[in-house]
Amino acid sequence: MPDPHELKINGKAVRVEVDRDRMLLGVLREDLGLTGTKYGCGEGRCGACTVLIDGQPARSCRTKIGAVGSREVTTIEGLSTGGVLHPLQRAFLEADALQCGYCTSGMIVAASALLRRNPDPSREEIVEFLDGNICRCGTYQRIIRAIRVAAELRKEAAR
C-alpha cells in the first residue's frame, strides 16, 4: 500500500506516496524523473544505479524507499551545483572516460564519494573504491585517469 515518504533528494525536500518496499531506483527514475541513475542488473552487482545516501555510495536498485528515511540522497543530477560542473564531470569529458555512457553516472557518483573522503587518492585507492562498478565498453583506464585529473582540478580550485 502506498504511504507518504518525506525524502531529501539533491538538497530538496520531496514528498512521494509510494509503497515502502519499492526500490529507490524506480522512485527516482519513474516518479521523480531523475533518470541519470540507471538500471543495469537489478541486484546491486554492476553499479549503474549508484547514488549517495548521506555521502555513502549505495545501490539504489536494492535499497527500499522505506529504508531511506530522511537521509540525504544525492544523484548524478545533484552533483553540478548552480550550473557549475563537478570537476569529475569535466575530467570525464576531457579524458574521454566514457563511451556508451550508461555506467558513467554511477562511476562519477561513486568517485565523488571517494574524493570527498580522500581528496588525493592514489591509483590503488581509486581502483579499490570503484571495483564494484562495471563498464562493459571497457573505459576503466580512462576513468581512473579522469578521477586523478579531477583530484588535481579540485586542488587547483582550492588554491
Partner 1 sequence: MAEWPASPSVIGKRIPRLDGLLKASGKAKYPSDVHPKGLLFGAMLYSPHAHAKVKSIDTKTAEKLPGVKAVLVIAGPGTTLRYHGDDIAAVAAETEEQARDAIRAIKIEYDVLPHVVTEAQSMAEGAPEVFKGGNVKKGRGQTKGKPEDAMASAAATIEATYTVPMITHVCLETHGLTVGLEGEKKATAWASTQNVYGIAGDLAQALELDRGDVTVYTEFMGGGFGSKFNADVWGTTAAKLSKMAGGRPVKMFLDREQEHCAAGNRPSATAHIKMGADREGKIVSVIAEGHSTGGVGNGTNMILPYVYRGVPHYSVGQANALTNRGGSRAMRAPNHPQSCILTEAAVDDLAEKLGMDPLEFRLKNLDPGSPMTPIYQAEIPIGAELIGWREKRKPRGKTGTGPIRTGLGMALHTWGGGGNPGKQVSCTIHPDGSVDIKTATQDIGTGARTILAMIAAEILGLQPTEINSLIGNSSYPPGQPSGGSTTTPTMAPPCYDAVTKARDALFKKVASAFNNARPEDLSLKQGQLWAGGEPVASWKEACRKLGTSPISVTGEFVDGLSSTGVGGCQFAEVSVDLETGEVKVKKIVAIQDSGLILDLLTWESQVYGGVIMGLNYGLFEEVVMDPTSGRMLNPDMEWYKLAGASDIPEIVVRAYSPPDEKGRQVIGVGEPPTISTAAAIGNAVSNAIGVRVTEWPMSPRNVLNALATASREGRA
Give phi and psi for 132, each to the nearest 5. -90, 0
Residues 6+ apart with CB under 8 A from 147: 88, 91, 111, 114, 115, 121, 126, 130
Gap between the Cα atoms of 138 and 65, Å rounded? 32
Select from 20, 94, 148, 153 the one that contacts partner 1 (CB under 8 A): 94
Is residue 24 within 8 A of residue 73, CB to CB? The reply is yes
Select from 8, 14, 16, 42 the one that contacts partner 1 (CB under 8 A): 42
Contact region for partner 1 (CB under 8 A) — 62-70, 90-98, 113-121, 151-159? 90-98
Select from 77, 148, 153, 154 the one that contacts partner 1 (CB under 8 A): 77
Gap between the Cα atoms of 52 and 135, Å rounded? 19
Interaxial angle between packed helices 123-130 and 104-117, expressed in degrees from 0 to 180 and rounded to the nearest 10: 130
Among positions 126-155, residues that touch partner 1 (CB under 8 A) are: 126-128, 130-144
Select from 7, 48, 58, 73 the one that contacts partner 1 (CB under 8 A): 48
Interacting residues with partner 1 (CB under 8 A): 19, 22, 26, 29-30, 33-43, 45-46, 48, 75-77, 79-80, 85, 88-89, 92-94, 96, 98-105, 108, 126-128, 130-144
